[in-house]
């Protein structure tokens, strides 16, 4: 018992857990909107698209510091999101096809740039592709600060534009007729999503980031029909999965943190789908059984009358 | 055969093989399923490896393809609960399976060279090193035959089941009324996608499989409304991208698979801008033309309805027209000029008047609109 406690009470573990918690929280909040708007896979798309930005930022500055690479990732992510919106708006191509196309082409461009960088003799370029595949256990205190600040700004924006985002997410046409500019709201939400993805990218990586944007929102959706409650629950689920994942990976041998977090949040989704009141599968099955029984009894009575 | 040519051939076969089933993915709005499958096949490979303990066993491909189908099944089951939307189901299933694969690798296969990096870029450059020998004679790179097999498999299956695939892509209800099982077709198609994806990612890496499966069909989608033509254009585009990409990579000495993805983007962008009917330019031109012809007809009908009335001076005065109709000065001038050139109106004492041809033309158009 003491051994477990001392393992958990270790500086690195606590920083990692804190980072995972902040990231889980903010992606839970922002991801809820993507889930509602049926654009959940945007996280996957944007995070893959960040690669050319990361490499280009390094090529232009020769600098491998987090800030420079993040900026590159951000620019590439925004560009990719812009392309996706532009393609969907100006042609009959659907969102999913545009997403797949843009993300894979951006990623390919990143690989081309990477192969150019790798020809240079110095070894400074090592680990560039690692940047977008992330390593949770490498979270530093400074990263946690950056995440916390960005998350605070994003949450402030969510509160400020609460009414607009809510209306826009559920009924964009109605929002338009009321005089809100759907294009601007779309861009703002997209931008906030890209920010969330980018701060998470280098710590948790591409695959985990797409899961973190989707799973907490999906789990929270099962428990409630109210948006604010869904977002709060989603933040709690995201943060909880982050903490549990981080702790369990420090307890178990050779358990990578990122995938552990994904497994935890997936279990939360599964449980929510099964046992959530009203929407959950179990409560649905019970309801069906009860109404079947009710009808049978009525049927018997009907038979009596005849 | 020279190794460069061999790589080029492999690239063409793989790109074309991916572009064909991709058409149906795009039409069924399931493009992101290829992303999902190309990630989860890693779990299939890992599990198969645990069984056979041999990284070069063909059994790994079988495991990967089976995992692709399992991915589709899990995603559909999640979606069928009606609690999770389709895109979210994809986004929950594949990170989970991929994470399990990563955990298994780091826990039990740490010493084996089997990591997510190696599925990232594929290994086209070294393909010519593995030769296929027949009666002791080398008859070319092994992978040429493998990739050719994938291409032929796709062509044959799509040709044989063309009618079924067509109906079920556009009208699943009709397909099931006609007696084709949509579920069977769906899983058949998805197995084909998985097998092709597995075959392709050995060569080009998992992410770029998506470029090959999504890029050419989406490009073809902008060029035609005919499924057969779309398949041909898509296949051709795939081959074209492979050729251009490989030459680009050779010229600049960069990543081959990356360059092919870049060319996929470039050809798409060119078509997106210049396509005859759905391109950006032709859409913009069409809008401009429609705006102009709408304005012209508008003015003609306006003039007709006020012709010889007491307000004609006010309604049809040349210099105040733009102001009167709330049009931009330039727009109004363009319309008046165009109508004068076409001899539909004339200016008399600063008043716009319909000519005889103009009057007949306008009343014809008017009755076309209102009397149907």
Q: Report all structural domains of chain A as residue ranges with CATH numbers, in order of start.
A: 2-298 (1.10.3470.10)
What is the ipTM metric for this complex? 0.86
| Biggest CA pair distance of chain B | 102
Q: What is the pLDDT of residue A122?
A: 62
Tens-place pLDDT, residues A228-254: 999 999 999 999 999 998 888 888 877
Q: Select from A90, A101, A129, A271 the residue whose CB has the most chain B CBs within 10 Å, as the one to mutate to test that interface.
A: A101
Tens-place pLDDT, residues A155-177: 999 999 888 888 888 888 888 88
Average the pLDDT over B95-110 and give the result: 83
**Dihedral, CA of residue B45, residue B51, residue B53 and residue B54, to nearest 10:** -50
Q: What is the pLDDT of residue A300?
A: 62
Whether the per-residue pLDDT at B322 is higher than 90: the answer is: no
Q: What is the pLDDT of residue B290?
A: 92
Residue of B nearest to A132 (CA): B117
Average the pLDDT over A115-131 and give the result: 68
SS3 A208: helix
Average the pLDDT over B245-273 and give the result: 91
Residue of A nearest to B269 (CA): A87
Q: How many CA atoms lie within 13 A of B368 on its CB side?
A: 8
Q: Select from B38, B39, B95, B251 the residue whose CB has the most chain A CBs within 10 Å, as the one to mutate to test that interface.
A: B95
Whether the per-residue pLDDT at B57 is higher than 70: the answer is: yes
Collect all residues of chain B within an 8 Å Cβ-Cβ radius of residue A116.
Answer: 252, 254
Nearest-by-Cβ selection for A105 from B98, B120, B264: B264
**Bigger pLDDT: A5 vs A23:** A23
Alpha helices for chain B (secondary structure H) = 3-27, 31-52, 59-80, 86-108, 118-121, 142-160, 162-170, 172-177, 182-204, 206-221, 227-252, 256-274, 280-306, 312-315, 321-325, 329-341, 356-370
Q: What is the pLDDT of residue A121?
A: 65
Average the pLDDT over A184-201 and give the result: 85
Whether the per-residue pLDDT at A78 is higher than 50: the answer is: yes
Tokens of B78: 């999640």
**Bigger pLDDT: B88 vs B143:** B88
Q: What is the pLDDT of residue A137?
A: 62
Q: What is the pLDDT of residue B115?
A: 47
What structural domains and CATH numbers belong to chain B?
A: 3-278 (1.10.3470.10), 281-370 (1.10.10.10)
Collect all residues of chain B within an 8 Å Cβ-Cβ radius of residue A119.
Answer: 253
Q: What is the pLDDT of residue A306?
A: 46
- Chain A stretch 78-137, residues whose beta carbon is closer than 8 A to a beta carbon of chain B: 87, 90-94, 96-101, 103-112, 114-116, 119, 129, 133
* Alpha-carbon gap: A263 to the closest alpha carbon of chain B (Å): 6
Count of A-B CB contacts under 8 Å: 198
**What is the Cα–Cα distance from B145 to B13, expressed in whole angstroms?**
9
Query: Do B260 and A90 make contact, defined as CB atoms within 8 angstroms?
Result: no
Burial bucket for residue A90 (CB in 10 Å: 0-12, 13-18, 19+): middle
Average the pLDDT over B274-289 and give the result: 89
Average the pLDDT over B15-41 and give the result: 89
Whether the per-residue pLDDT at B267 is higher than 90: the answer is: yes
**pLDDT band at residue B101 using 50, 70 and 90 as cut-offs:** confident
Q: What is the pLDDT of residue A127?
A: 65
Q: Which 8-state DSSP code applies to residue B317? A: B
Collect all residues of chain B within an 8 Å Cβ-Cβ radius of residue A273.
Answer: 78, 81, 83-84
**pLDDT band at residue A50 using 50, 70 and 90 as cut-offs:** confident
**What is the Cα–Cα distance from A144 to A132, expressed in whole angstroms?**
17
Q: What is the pLDDT of residue A68?
A: 82
Whether the per-residue pLDDT at A5 is higher than 70: the answer is: no
Q: How many CA atoms lie within 13 A of A238 on its CB side?
A: 34
- Chain A stretch 203-222, residues whose beta carbon is closer than 8 A to a beta carbon of chain B: 207-208, 210-211, 213-215, 217-218, 221-222
Q: What is the pLDDT of residue B111?
A: 52
Query: Do A281 and B35 make contact, defined as CB atoms within 8 angstroms?
Result: no
Tens-place pLDDT, residues B156-181: 999 998 888 888 888 878 888 887 77
A4-43 burial string, b = 16+ CB within 10 Å, else e? Answer: eeeeeeeeebebbbbbbbbbbbbbbbbbbbbbbbebbbbb
* Alpha-carbon gap: B23 to the closest alpha carbon of chain A (Å): 11
**pLDDT band at residue B119 using 50, 70 and 90 as cut-offs:** low
Average the pLDDT over B82-102 and give the result: 89
**pLDDT band at residue A133 using 50, 70 and 90 as cut-offs:** low
- Provide the sign of the torsion angle of the four alpha carbons B356, B358, B359, B364, taken in this order: positive
- Which among B201, B56, B196 is positioned nearest to B123, based on CA atoms? B201
Tens-place pLDDT, residues B335-362: 888 888 888 888 888 888 888 888 888 8
Q: What is the pLDDT of residue B117?
A: 47
Q: What does the mean pLDDT of chain B come to?
A: 85
Tens-place pLDDT, residues B176-216: 888 777 788 888 888 899 888 888 877 777 778 889 999 99
Tens-place pLDDT, residues A257-283: 888 899 999 999 999 999 888 888 888
Q: CB distance from A277 to chain B under 8 Å?
A: no
Whether the per-residue pLDDT at B116 is higher than 50: the answer is: no
Angle between helices A162-170 and A182-223 (to 10 degrees): 80
């Amino acid at each position: 018992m003491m051994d477990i406690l001392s393992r958990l009470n270790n500086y690195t573990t606590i920083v990692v857990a804190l980072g995972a918690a902040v990231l889980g929280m903010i992606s839970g909040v922002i991801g809820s909107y993507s889930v509602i708007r049926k654009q959940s896979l945007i996280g996957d798309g944007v995070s893959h698209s960040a690669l050319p930005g990361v490499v280009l930022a390094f090529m232009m500055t020769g600098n491998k510091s987090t800030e420079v690479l993040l900026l590159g990732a951000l620019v590439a992510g925004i560009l990719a999101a812009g392309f996706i919106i532009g393609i969907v708006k100006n042609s009959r191509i659907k969102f999913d096809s545009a997403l797949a196309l843009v993300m894979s082409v951006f990623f390919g461009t990143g690989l081309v740039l990477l192969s150019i960088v790798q020809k240079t003799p110095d070894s400074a370029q090592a680990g560039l592709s690692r940047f977008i595949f992330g390593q949770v256990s490498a979270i530093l205190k400074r990263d946690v600060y950056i995440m916390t600040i960005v998350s605070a700004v994003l949450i402030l924006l969510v509160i400020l534009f609460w009414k607009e985002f809510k209306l826009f997410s559920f009924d964009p046409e109605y929002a338009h007729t009321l005089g809100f500019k759907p294009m601007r709201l779309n861009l703002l939400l997209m931008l906030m999503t890209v920010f969330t993805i980018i701060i998470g990218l280098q710590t948790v990586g591409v695959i985990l980031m797409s899961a973190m944007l989707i799973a907490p929102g999906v789990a929270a959706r099962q428990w409630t029909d109210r948006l604010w409650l869904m977002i709060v629950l989603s933040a709690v689920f995201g943060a909880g999965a982050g903490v549990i994942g981080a702790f369990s990976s420090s307890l178990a041998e050779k358990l990578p943190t990122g995938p552990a977090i994904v497994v935890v949040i997936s279990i939360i989704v599964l449980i929510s789908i099964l046992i959530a009141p009203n929407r959950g599968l179990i409560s649905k099955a019970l309801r069906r059984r009860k109404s079947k029984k009710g009808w049978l009894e009525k049927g018997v009575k009907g038979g009596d009358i005849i | 055969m020279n190794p460069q040519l061999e790589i080029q051939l492999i690239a063409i076969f793989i790109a074309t093989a991916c572009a064909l089933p991709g058409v149906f993915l795009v039409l069924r709005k399931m493009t992101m399923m290829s992303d999902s499958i190309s990630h989860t096949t890693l779990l299939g490979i890992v599990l198969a490896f645990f069984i056979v303990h041999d990284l070069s066993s063909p059994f790994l491909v079988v495991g990967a393809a089976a995992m692709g189908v399992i991915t589709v099944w899990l995603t559909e089951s999640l979606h069928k609960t009606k609690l999770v939307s389709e895109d979210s189901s994809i986004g929950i299933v594949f990170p989970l399976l991929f994470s399990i694969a990563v955990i298994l690798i780091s826990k039990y296969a740490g010493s084996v060279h089997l990591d997510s990096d190696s599925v990232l870029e594929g290994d086209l450059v070294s393909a010519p090193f593995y030769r296929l020998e027949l009666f002791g004679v080398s008859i070319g790179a092994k992978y040429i035959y493998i990739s050719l097999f994938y291409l032929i498999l796709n062509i044959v299956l799509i040709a044989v089941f063309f009618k079924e695939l067509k109906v079920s892509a556009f009208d699943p209800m009709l397909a099931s009324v006609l007696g084709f099982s949509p579920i069977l077709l769906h899983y058949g198609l998805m197995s084909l996608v998985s097998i092709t994806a597995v075959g392709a990612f050995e060569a080009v890496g998992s992410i770029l499989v998506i470029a090959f499966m999504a890029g050419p069909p989406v490009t073809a989608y902008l060029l035609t409304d005919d499924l057969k033509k779309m398949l041909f254009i898509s296949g051709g585009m795939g081959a074209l991208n492979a050729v251009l990409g490989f030459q680009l990579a050779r010229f600049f000495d960069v990543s081959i698979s990356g360059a092919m993805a870049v060319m996929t983007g470039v050809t798409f962008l060119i078509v997106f801008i210049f396509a005859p009917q759905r391109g950006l330019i032709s859409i913009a031109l069409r809008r401009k033309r429609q705006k102009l012809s709408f304005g012209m007809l508008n003015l003609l009908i306006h003039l007709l309805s006020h012709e010889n009335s007491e307000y004609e001076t006010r309604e049809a005065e040349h210099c105040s027209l733009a102001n009167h109709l709330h049009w931009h000065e330039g727009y109004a001038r363009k319309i008046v000029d165009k109508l004068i050139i076409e001899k539909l109106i004339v200016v008399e004492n600063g008043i716009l008047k319909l000519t005889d041809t103009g009057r007949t033309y306008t009343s014809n158009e008017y009755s076309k609109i209102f009397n149907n």
